[in-house]
Amino acid sequence: MSRLRMLGAVGLAAMVALDVVLVVLAVRHTHAGSPAMTGIVATPAPTASHSSTPGADPAGSPRATGGPGATVRPALDPGAPRVLVDIGAAGAVARAATGACGTGGATIELSRDGGESFQRASVPAAAVVLRVASVDAEQAWVVAAGADCATLTTFTTTDGGGTWTPSNGSDGSWHRLPVAGARIHAPTGDVDVPCPRRLKVLGYSTLSRDQAYVLCGREGAAPVLLRTVDGGASWSDRGEMPGAVDLDFVSATTGLAAVAGNRSCAGISVHASTDSGASWKPRACVETTAGGLPDITADGDRAYLGVGEALWFSGDGGRTWASRPA
């Protein structure tokens, strides 16, 4: 192949990769299908007769007794390495250990069977992962950087992780920044998030190029939820969410949150909102002693909850959860 043809092929591949990213963002929560539910290990949590705030005990609720007797209280360090999970169509799931600037260590895994098994993907240049996204059994993408976190690249696969096509930069997608702070990358570029009390971006959920929710938090302070409908140009305060460590909205009004340190749940408490995050109700308790910051991802009634290498699936909007093999 001549040098001219090679350059043309590389340019075409980069444009295709960027197009995939933009299409994914536009249809982020419109996937369909559901893997089979097996081995239900979590039951619905007691629900108060009124809206409750994540982290608050429903009146009269007994202390959960799953595990060795202690609730899960991960250190709320927004910059700590974590395992990210993202839901795709049917049984597609993407999972990535983020790694850290300076040391790298990121890993990327893809599943076609609802998280029953994962295949490690080889993306040598992705030493630090800032976002992982699953589209379907063949398509996925990640925003990543080298160990020095100096340059960001979007890597796209259309063959189930067999090969990955890089494209420079990450414009067109929401993602965390390499250094934790009160900023996030929006489709138009880095934007300031008005996190109060020196809080930093702890979790986020995106619905389109314009709509996103950001959870601001840090150790020793109650997390706060903010919302934008104009791509980060302005933000509205949706209130405090004590104990919340991650969240994902399936529409502008409906979302799930993972809450740690809830005294009524020896594990991770899953809360739900149907009013755009203004109020939350406990929906289930996933009993676990797994460590690390939880990550929750949802699409319609389907949802996955990851804590480190542990993974659970829900097919009924987070009311019951089935463990997936480690």
pLDDT value for 63: 30
Amino acid identity, position 260: A
pLDDT value for 172: 84
Of 54 and 266, which is predicted with more confidence?
266
- The pTM (predicted TM-score) of the whole model is 0.82
Of 16 and 149, which is predicted with more confidence?
149
What is the band of 71 on the pLDDT scale with cuts at 50, 70, 90? low
- Given a cut of 70, is residue 2 above it in pLDDT? no
pLDDT value for 170: 81
pLDDT value for 66: 34
- C-alpha 63/C-alpha 192 separation (Å) is 39
Q: Considering only CA atoms, which of 190, 261, 278 is closest in space to residue 226?
A: 278
Residues 7-32: what's their mean pLDDT?
Answer: 42
From residue 325, how far is each of 63, 82, 118, 310 by CA, in Å? 27, 19, 10, 8
pLDDT value for 326: 66
- Given a cut of 70, is residue 18 above it in pLDDT? no
pLDDT value for 145: 96
- C-alpha 247/C-alpha 270 separation (Å) is 9
Q: Are 143 and 175 in contact (CB under 8 A)?
A: yes
Of 170 and 289, which is predicted with more confidence?
289
Query: What does the mean pLDDT of the chain come to?
Result: 83
What is the band of 218 on the pLDDT scale with cuts at 50, 70, 90? very high
pLDDT value for 127: 97
pLDDT value for 283: 97
Write 90-94 long-range contacts (CB < 8 A, 24+). Answer: 90/31, 90/32, 90/33, 90/34, 90/35, 90/136, 90/137, 91/33, 91/35, 91/115, 91/137, 92/134, 92/135, 92/136, 92/137, 92/140, 93/118, 93/134, 93/304, 94/132, 94/133, 94/134, 94/140, 94/142
